[in-house]
Amino acid sequence: MISLLNITILTFKKMEPKLTKALYISSKKEQNEENFGHLSDQCICCGKPMKEGDKLYIHLNTIGEAINPDYVNEINCKELTGAESQGCFPIGNECAKKMLGFTFILK
């Protein structure tokens, strides 16, 4: 049996999705950018070139927060997160593990 309190909590959670999350930045990012330079296809978190088969992306707003792709898009970004969309950036599979729920496959 589920108590009424549990239902209330579940409903509340459903209505209050986490819309933004601080972007994980690897301590190796600076070093990697120095080693590899600035590429068009490198992980936003650690600066490593994307590997064959890496196909995840993350959507950032202009203050550098990751935004929840299930709820926020380029049109409602300002309204929901307080800052405009900055677009989508590639993220490596390893770093993506630190940003669960905030990455997606670009179709």
- List interacting residues with Zn ion (CB under 5 A): 43, 45-46, 92, 95
Measured from the CB of residue 51, what is the shortest distance to Zn ion in angstroms? 10
42: helix, coil or strand? strand
- Tell me the CA distances in angstroms from 50 to 1, 10, 17, 29, 85, one per residue in order: 48, 38, 29, 13, 22
Measured from the CB of residue 92, what is the shortest distance to Zn ion in angstroms? 4
CB of 45 or CB of 67, closer to Zn ion: 45
CB of 20 or CB of 92, closer to Zn ion: 92
CA dist., res. 32 & res. 42, Å (int): 10
CB of 69 or CB of 74, closer to Zn ion: 69
